[in-house]
Homo-oligomer: A and B are copies of this chain.
Amino acid sequence: MNLFYQPEIRNGILNLDAEESRHAVRVLRMKEGGAIELTDGNGYFYSATITFANPKKCEFEIVGKRNVPKRDFEIHIAMAPTKNMDRMEWFVEKATEIGIDEITFLLTKNSERKAINLDRIKKIATSALKQSQQAWLPIINTIIPFKDILTASSNQKFIAYVDASNPKHLQALAEKAKSYLVLIGPEGDFSKEELSMALQYGFEKVSLGTNRLRTETASIVAVHTLRLVNQPPMNTILI
């Protein structure tokens, strides 16, 4: 079933945006009285009925709502954006499907890309949220200097970095039910100076496995490792 997105329902905005209005009315041919499901990306699913099937501004009224509690762990990935935007967008889509809470882009010494199109990235996250039928949209922050991430408050702070000191795997170091921040470097990795700054600020060096992974692959591996650390053996059915 299609899930629509309207973050401002709590502020009384009871219509779809132009793109979703067109999709609902022109593509899905929905009419007045038709039932739709929405999320506000902030923990709520809504059941609604279309009251005005306008393809530019489709209006609805709420007939029910349901809260999805936040999980007892939080995953925040701070990564150097890849040179190729597609790879970064792919990461955002997959991380949102698998489940992530926050993404920050980092300007590092070896970053090849210094600017990102945040609107486009947020759109991709919203689309993945709807596709995977979730109620919590990840927070996506703009690009910040590396040093600004160092003071972030998370229970467990990691920097992915493999060197001769042979760090432990993220799976071995992450504890259940914590908030995690993992820093993922650019193609040329973090500089020695960036690494030592992170260690000074209480970050722990971790490995993500023995293979040399691209930035976006390392990021997705980090997200999924933290999901599995918190995975109950038996699934609860959410929907």
Q: Which residues of A contact B (CB under 8 A)?
A: 90, 94, 97-99, 131-134, 162, 164, 166-169, 171-172, 207, 209-214, 217, 220-221, 224-225, 227-228, 231-238
Evaluate contact between B172 and A233: CB separation under 8 angstroms.
yes
Q: Is the CB of A98 within 8 A of B166?
A: no
CA A217 to CA B210, docked complex, whole Å: 22
B166 adjacent to A234 (CB under 8 Å): yes
In this complex, the member of A207, A209, A211, A212 whose beta carbon has the largest number of chain B beta carbons within 10 angstroms is: A211
Whether B94 contacts A231 by the Cβ 8 Å rule is no
A169 touches B235 (CB 8 A): yes
CB distance from A215 to the nearest CB of B (A): 11
- Say yes or no: A235 contacts B209, CB within 8 Å: yes
Name the residue on B nearest A224 (C-beta).
Answer: B224
Contact A168 B97 (CB under 8 A): no
